[in-house]
Each structure stands twice: as structure tokens, then as C-alpha cells.
Amino acid sequence: MTTTNGTPDPKIIDLINEKKGNGILTSLEYFPPRTETGVKNLNSRMDRMRDNLNPLFTDMTWGAGGSTADLSMELALRAHSTGHVANLHLTCTNMSKNGDPIAAVHEALKTALDGGIRNIVALRGDPPAGEEEWTAAEGGFTCALDLVKYMRKEFGQDFGISVAGYPEGHPNAITELKDGEGLDSLSESEKTRYSEFDGKMYVCKDEDYKKEMDYLKEKVDAGADMIITQMFFDVEVFKTFVNDCRKW
């Protein structure tokens, strides 16, 4: 294991701009293990993959609430201290300090900042385990846009901020086609976002895609530096999304 001298990480957007045209860039992403043995194994793997792949940055997903959130922070801080450029995911889900969800987020950001982390992925987050729908905590953030605005207001330019993008549509914006609706009912752009699963047909319709892009632009206008997309399987869909981002 190698360690650094505690110098704050560079912002990822600056690293990307410096390396434009210099070939393919790689990054890593990890999530908090459930056991102590898993943590030890992950630490060893992170060290090996850092040395073997020389990633531009390393994402650590956020475990919402309690000890899992603490572990996400510990792993991100360790990543920073061992030579990774840490990119900490932070969500609005199930966060509270003495009943104050905003204070909990502020404390997490302050801990990251004090520990040398300078890159945050601002996310709304998924519903807590066992719940189907996401609901905002009373007095808390309602969406990732709120979090981006808060970070810029409270921390200025201290952090590089990434936000989520959805080339095929956010899961909440994907519609199951009704009986009688088929490919012929879809526009050409909708057909590129069409999928089948368990015999059912799904699509992000054009009007919903527009809403998603409008919201994404709001996040960028509020201060996001970079967009990280969900996994996609069709490169042409991704290329269309990138072109739309540049035109929107």
C-alpha cells in the first residue's frame, strides 16, 4: 500500500481537460462491502487495480444512512490517502443528524473536504431498502439539483461536482407500452430507447426524454462540472445523448 502526503485531490474535470486527445481514460467504481472481510479484500483489490490500471479517478458509491454511509466515507478517504483520486457519491436518501437531513449532508461534505476529497457525485439516491418509492425527508433535499445548489452556495468551488445522466431515460421516465402499442407507434428516436424485458415492451418517450434533458441542464447550470451516465448497451444511443447535451 502506498500513501500520499495529504495533498487535496485535483478536480476530475481538470484532469480530463488536461488529458484530452491522450487516448482512453479509465476509472474504477466500488461499493461498500457488507463484512469486515469484504472490506479487507476490497482494500487489497483497490491497491492492485490502482497499480495495474492507473485509473484517472475512483468512484465510491454512497451507502445511505448509518454505518453504511460511514463506511462509504472511510473507504473514499482511504482511496484518497492511498493514491486514488476519490470521487465520492453522495445522496439525499435516508440522511439525518439529530433529525436534520441537511446538517447530515453538510457534515459529510465537510468531512470529505477536510480529508482531501475534492470530487463529489451529487445524486438523489434510490428508495431505502424495502420501499418502492423515493420520498424526501422533511426539511431535506428533494432532488440532486437541490444538492448541487447547496454545495455551490456553502462550499463555492471547493468541489468538482458530477451529476447523473441517462442516455436511455431515467428509470422513473421509462414507460411500459400498452396493449396495441408496438414499434410502429414509436418515433425514430424512441425506437433507439426501446427495450423488451420478460415479454413486456418499455420506452422512454420523447416528451419524457425532453424533461430529463431539461432537468440535466438545470443541474449543469447550477454548477455541475461533469455528467456520468448510467450503463448503456447501444453506443449510438450514447452518442446521440452526448450530441443532445452539447446542443441543449
Catalytic residue list: 29
CA distance to 106, 139, 196, 235, per residue, from 102 (Å): 6, 8, 39, 38
Q: Which residues of 87-100 are buried (b: 16+ CB within 10 A; e: fewer)?
A: bbbbbbbbbbeeeb
The one-character DSSP state at 172 is: G
Long-range contacts of 189-192 (CB under 8 A, 24+ apart): 189/240, 192/234, 192/236, 192/237, 192/240
At position 126, the amino acid (one-letter code) is D
Evaluate whether 109 touches 97 at the Cβ level (below 8 Å): no
Name the amino acid, one letter, at 5: N
Residue with cell 445523448: 241
Concatenate the DSSP letters of all residues of 79-127 into one string.
HHHTT--EEEEEESTT--BTTBHHHHHHHHHHHHHHTT--EEEEE--PP
Q: Which residue has the cell 436511455?
A: 168
